[in-house]
Amino acid sequence: MSAGTLLRTAARTLIPHRYRRAARDLYPYVRYAGLAVRCPCCGGRFRSFLPGGRNNRPNAECPGCGCLERHRLLWLYLINRTSLSSSPLRVLHLAPERVIRRRLLALPNLIYVSADLDSPLG
């Protein structure tokens, strides 16, 4: 029996069913915990970002929220270079990225509308 199988079996036995989703969501934050990098989208601190994208780029994907470099850059720009977090604004977000959408919805000063042709989010 592999270590992964043994761990999954132990988790099913020890973690009540109603808490399994929360434990699964918390797992990357525990497994990759560290202080080397910080994700501005989810606020998580990790040893490093994971390889990701089409070419398996190094340091591309956040282990916590799954955002890529472009999502982190967009969020940093929106927070640091715009009045997004302080002024009452109306925001139309086309082709919303899941992590950016979640952060924008959490801002109480925004009237937020998203739209996308093929996404279940918009």
The answer to whether residue 93 is domain-embedded is: no
Q: Can you give the pLDDT at residue 117?
A: 86
CB neighbour list of residue 11: distance below 8 Å, 6 or more residues apart: 20, 23
CA 11 to chain centre: 24
Domain assignment of residue 38, given as a range: 32-87
Share of the chain above pLDDT 90, in %: 52
Confidence check: pLDDT of 11 > 90: no
| pLDDT tens profile 94-105 | 989 889 999 999
pTM of model > 0.95: no
* Number of structural domains the chain divides into: 1
Spatial separation of the C-alpha atoms in residues 37 and 44, rounded to whole Å: 8
